[in-house]
Amino acid sequence: MRARVGQKNTLPRRWARRGTRPTAPKDQRTEHAYIFGAICPEKGKGAGLVLPRCNAQAMNAHLVEISLAVDPGAHAVLMLDGAGWHVAGDLVVPDNITLLQLPARAPELNPVENVWQFIRDNWLGDRIFTSYEDIVDRCCNAWNRLTDQPWKIMSIRLREWAHRL
């Protein structure tokens, strides 16, 4: 549902010669933003926002964005972890969305976790951001690049183990 991106960034996996340690940039500043994103694995569609905070107000804005992206006459089921802003009392859920709470500590059940990993590995990890605006710009660029490739959303959302059951 959301991914934190900032100046204390994650390091993606790297190829390196055995016995060596590849260098990677590291920033000690603490600016960050959150990508709120949802995908439709069947159609390869996505709806997302880049916001400064994770709270009920941000979640409400994201629900409105998702609701607008749902095809007329269709209904979306949104899988959520147990974050406080996902179950806040002042959450306004549009009529065309149903919230499905996943079990605690089970990110492997949520296909959007693959999306966050893909975005970090390809466009956001291993970077030094110059400012908050740079973080927001790169997050928006990464999300837009992903949603411009519906086939990518359809392929990276797969959980192979789930299809074997």
The predicted model gives 127-132 an average pLDDT of 87
Q: What is the pLDDT of residue 18?
A: 86
Q: What is the pLDDT of residue 44?
A: 92
Q: What is the pLDDT of residues 5-62, one digit of tens each?
A: 765 556 566 677 888 877 666 666 678 899 999 999 889 999 999 999 989 999 999 9
**Tokens of residue 77, six digits:** 């089921």
pTM, to two decimals = 0.79
- List of domains in the chain: 2-11+26-163 (3.30.420)
